[in-house]
Structure formats: structure tokens, C-alpha cells
């Protein structure tokens, strides 16, 4: 029997800007991507592209950096928590004093030409790397300099060669991504004074990468669906199959709000990890219970939608379930009833549903339910721990 060739898969999740704490919504997307990456890796050649460098030049980030230097220039950010920096970001967004492109240009130039990162965001990324380690998540290069493959003008030239740009800079206007031929609306990607938005940065990163892959998987907040439909259309023209995977945010007390408005005290990644560690204290494999339990909650329990508000009690329940699953899995391994590596590939493949990537929700749910066999230790180690 001829074995089909392994496909090349690019996972390109939306990037969280290092300006505020990781919230339940952020954790959900990150854990979802991590399980997808680790579960797909045994079946395909997978690249997990997650570059903070690419998106540092957006106004959301450099505008915050300029605000910090203007109002808190002498601050030692190495002593601040992620919540402390997040509070500064909330104040910045409440200021409502947008700065011109000339004021922000030195920050963008520093990012583009030297890979510079403001000390506040450097501190945030260092803290996030600690969260990734505790959760057992693959680090795709949080603190590495990973510039996009195209400069802004190079990206616009490529789009223009395909007739996908409406550039009005010659008459003092902005630059639009033009997919009107497909019945899609114009979308501004660069302001009249030269400020690129998130979509422009995504195009700089993904246009040169997409042709090298059989399948490109875009994971993003549902609120960004309009932009990702445009991105899907552009990348599909380059050859790969493009899959969009929208992931719903996690309401807190029934409300979905942006992190820039605050309201995340007690719900940050650091706070949740501290509470989870206390809940797992005394378990035989406390680290494993924390890692598996967090994935069971944010993936299997919350699901792809955004109907359920965050609940501490359900998270604690998932941590308890995780401890039981690990105990049963260990017992199966001790008695020699655990499955082998060949069965691992089969177990993962059944959750692909016609695409190259493994569906994290289906896979996580497969661990749960009465009458299920003990989870394969190899599967847990490869994907969930």
C-alpha cells in the first residue's frame, strides 16, 4: 500500500500584542493552537509561525511604547508584573490622544532595522515565556527577532502586480486592499501618513510563506472574521489550501470586552496558573494535571464558540478530571495495555476530517465521557502535557 506524502502545513495564529496580560480569551487561542500544532506534527510537516517582530510596528504597540516613554520614561519595567503593565496600557488607550506617524516612526524604524523591543514589552514577553513553560506549550519564538519576509513597500508592490491594491498616497490618501472583483469590500491597510495596520503586517509575513505550503491554517478571534476572509482570498491565489479557524472569546461575567478596557484582574494567566497550581497541589502528577486540565477546560469545555462565561469552578473540575485521567493512563501503562506509536498516528488521524491539521476540539473531547478507555500515555505526552 502506497503511503501518501506528508503535507507541509503552516499554522499562523493571530498574534497577541505584548501590551497587556494574557486573559482567558488569549489562553484559549494559545492552547488551541498548541494542541493543533503538537497533534498535527506526527502526521505532517508543520511550521508554527508566531512572530511578535512582525506586529510590533502596529500603532497598538508602538503607540503604547511612545506613551510610556512620554509619561513614564524612568520606570524600571523589570520590577513590574503583567497586571502593572496592563494597567498602564488601559490608561494609554483611555488617553485618546493619537500620535502622528512622524512621532511613531522612530519606534517603527528601531523595530525594522535592529529588532528593538521596548523594555515594557520585553518584560511582558519574558513573563509570558514563563507561562508557556508552566503550561507545557511549545514556544514559537516569543523573544526572538523574527522579521517578516517582505518590507511594507515590497508587499504593496506584490499586491499591485496582481491588481489587488488601490493606492491613493499620490493624492494624499490611504492604501486599500482591493478585492472588489470578488464582491468583497475595500479594506484600508495603510493610512495616508504611512501607518500599517494588523492586516498589512499579516500580508508582509504570509505572502512570501504561503506558496511553500500545501495547507495554511489561520486561527483568529471571531471578531476579526472580515479581515481573515480577505486574507484567505489573497493567500488562496498563491496556491495553498487555506483553512480559517475562528475561535470565540471567553466572556467574563457574561461580557466580552477588549483587554484595553481592563476588567481582567483575577483572570490573568498568572492568576489562573497560581489558582490552578493550588488546586492541583497533592495530586500525584500536579504539573501534568495542571497542563491537561487547562486544555480540557479551554478547549473541550468552552468549545469553539463564545457562549460560556469563564467559571473557576468548571476549571477546577477539569483539573480534577485531568488528575483522574493521568492516574488511569499510568495504570494502563503499568499493566502493558497502553497503545503504541502506530496507534498514536491512527488516533490523531481520525480527528482530521478531510484537512491536514488535527482538530483540537474533537481530539480533546475524545478523552472525556463515561466508558472511554484510559488515555494513551503516548498521546498525552505528545499533545497535552
Answer whether residue 340 shows pLDDT above 80.
Answer: no
pLDDT band at 375 (very low <50, low <70, confident <90, very high): confident
Is residue 65 domain-resident? no
Answer whether residue 265 shows pLDDT above 90.
Answer: no
Please report the pLDDT score of residue 235 as a whole number: 97
Higher-confidence position of 330 and 133: 133
CA distance linking residue 266 with residue 271, whole number of Å? 6
- Average pLDDT value for the chain: 91
Is residue 104 domain-resident? no
Range of the domain at 267: 263-339+363-384
Please report the pLDDT score of residue 245 as a whole number: 96
Residues 179 and 278 in one domain: no
Is residue 199 domain-resident? yes
Per the confidence metrics, is the pTM higher than 0.85?
yes
CA atoms within 13 A on the CB side of 67: 23
Is residue 368 domain-resident? yes
Answer whether residue 44 shows pLDDT above 90.
Answer: yes
The CA–CA distances, whole Å, from 363 to 298, 300, 303, 376, 383 equal 13, 8, 12, 12, 10
Residues 294 and 375 in one domain: yes
Ordered DSSP codes for 194-237? S-B-HHHHHHHHHTTTGGG-SEEEEEEEGGGHHHHHHHHHHHHT
Answer whether residue 268 shows pLDDT above 50.
Answer: yes
Boundary-marking domain end, from 164, 186, 204:
204
Is residue 272 domain-resident? yes
Mean pLDDT of 299-314: 92
Mean pLDDT of 3-8: 76
Between CA 103 and CA 224, with CA 111 as vertex, the angle to 5 degrees is 85
Please report the pLDDT score of residue 272 as a whole number: 92
CA distance linking residue 59 with residue 69, whole number of Å? 15
Between CA 175 and CA 180, with CA 176 as vertex, the angle to 5 degrees is 155
Mean pLDDT of 158-187: 95
Please report the pLDDT score of residue 174 as a whole number: 95
Q: Dihedral of the CA atoms 127, 129, 130, 135 (nearest 10)?
A: 130
Please report the pLDDT score of residue 374 as a whole number: 81
Residues 278 and 284 sit within 8 Å (Cβ to Cβ) = no
Is residue 137 domain-resident? no
CA distance linking residue 341 with residue 184, whole number of Å? 46
Residue-wise pLDDT for 208-242, tens only, equals 999 999 999 999 999 999 999 999 999 999 999 99
Please report the pLDDT score of residue 354 as a whole number: 86
pLDDT band at 259 (very low <50, low <70, confident <90, very high): low
Mean pLDDT of 29-37: 97
Answer whether residue 334 shows pLDDT above 80.
Answer: no
Is residue 321 domain-resident? yes
Please report the pLDDT score of residue 342 as a whole number: 57
pLDDT band at 1 (very low <50, low <70, confident <90, very high): very low
pLDDT more than 90, % of the chain: 75
CA distance linking residue 237 with residue 277, whole number of Å? 47
Mean pLDDT of 106-134: 96
Residues 283 and 193 in one domain: no
Q: Identify the bridge partners of residue 259 per DSSP, sorted by sequence position.
A: none
Boundary-marking domain end, from 204, 226, 241:
204
Residues 285 and 379 in one domain: yes
Q: How many domains would you assign to the chain? A: 2
Residues 300 and 367 in one domain: yes
pLDDT more than 70, % of the chain: 95
Is residue 193 domain-resident? yes
Answer whether residue 63 shows pLDDT above 90.
Answer: yes
Higher-confidence position of 246 and 99: 246
**190: helix, coil or strand?**
strand
Residues 195 and 305 in one domain: no
Q: Indicate the range of 3-7, 109-113, 159-163 predicted with least confidence.
A: 3-7
Residues 372 and 295 in one domain: yes
Residues 199 and 267 in one domain: no
Amino acid at each position: 500500500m502506497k503511503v501518501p506524502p506528508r503535507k507541509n502545513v503552516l499554522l499562523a495564529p493571530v498574534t497577541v500584542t505584548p501590551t497587556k496580560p494574557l486573559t482567558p480569551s488569549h489562553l484559549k487561542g494559545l492552547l488551541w493552537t498548541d494542541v493543533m500544532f503538537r497533534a498535527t506534527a506526527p502526521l505532517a510537516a508543520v511550521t508554527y509561525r508566531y512572530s511578535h517582530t512582525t506586529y510590533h510596528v502596529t500603532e497598538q504597540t508602538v503607540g503604547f511604547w511612545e506613551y510610556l516613554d512620554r509619561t513614564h520614561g524612568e520606570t524600571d519595567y523589570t520590577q513590574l508584573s503583567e497586571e502593572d503593565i496592563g494597567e498602564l496600557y488601559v490608561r494609554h488607550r483611555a488617553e485618546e490622544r493619537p500620535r502622528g506617524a512622524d512621532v511613531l516612526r522612530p519606534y517603527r524604524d528601531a523595530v525594522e532595522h535592529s529588532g528593538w523591543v521596548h523594555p515594557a514589552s520585553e518584560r511582558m514577553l519574558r513573563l509570558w515565556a514563563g507561562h508557556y513553560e508552566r503550561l507545557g506549550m511549545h514556544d514559537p519564538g516569543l523573544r526572538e527577532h523574527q522579521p517578516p519576509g517582505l518590507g511594507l513597500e515590497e508587499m504593496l508592490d506584490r499586491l499591485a502586480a496582481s491588481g489587488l491594491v488601490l493606492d491613493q498616497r499620490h493624492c494624499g490618501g490611504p492604501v486599500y486592499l482591493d478585492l472588489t472583483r470578488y464582491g468583497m469590500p475595500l479594506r484600508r491597510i495603510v493610512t495616508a501618513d504611512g501607518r500599517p495596520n494588523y492586516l498589512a503586517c499579516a500580508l508582509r509575513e504570509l505572502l512570501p510563506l504561503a506558496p511553500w505550503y500545501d495547507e495554511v491554517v489561520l486561527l483568529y478571534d471571531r471578531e476579526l472574521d472580515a479581515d481573515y476572509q480577505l486574507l484567505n482570498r489573497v493567500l488562496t491565489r498563491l496556491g495553498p489550501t487555506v483553512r480559517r479557524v475562528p475561535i470565540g472569546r471567553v466572556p467574563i461575567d457574561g461580557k466580552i470586552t477588549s483587554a484595553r478596557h481592563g476588567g481582567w484582574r483575577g483572570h490573568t494567566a498568572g492568576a489562573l496558573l497560581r489558582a490552578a497550581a493550588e488546586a492541583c497541589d497533592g495530586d500525584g502528577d500536579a504539573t501534568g494535571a495542571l497542563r491537561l486540565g487547562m486544555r480540557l477546560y479551554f478547549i473541550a469545555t468552552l468549545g469553539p464558540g463564545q457562549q460560556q462565561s469563564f467559571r473557576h469552578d468548571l476549571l477546577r473540575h477539569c483539573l480534577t478530571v485531568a488528575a483522574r485521567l493521568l492516574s488511569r493512563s499510568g495504570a494502563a501503562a503499568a499493566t502493558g495495555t497502553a497503545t503504541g506509536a502506530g496507534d498514536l498516528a491512527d488516533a490523531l488521524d481520525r480527528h482530521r476530517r478531510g484537512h491536514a491539521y488535527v482538530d483540537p476540539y474533537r481530539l480533546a473531547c475524545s478523552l472525556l465521557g463515561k466508558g472511554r478507555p484510559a488515555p494513551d500515555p503516548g498521546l498525552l505526552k505528545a499533545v497535552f502535557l
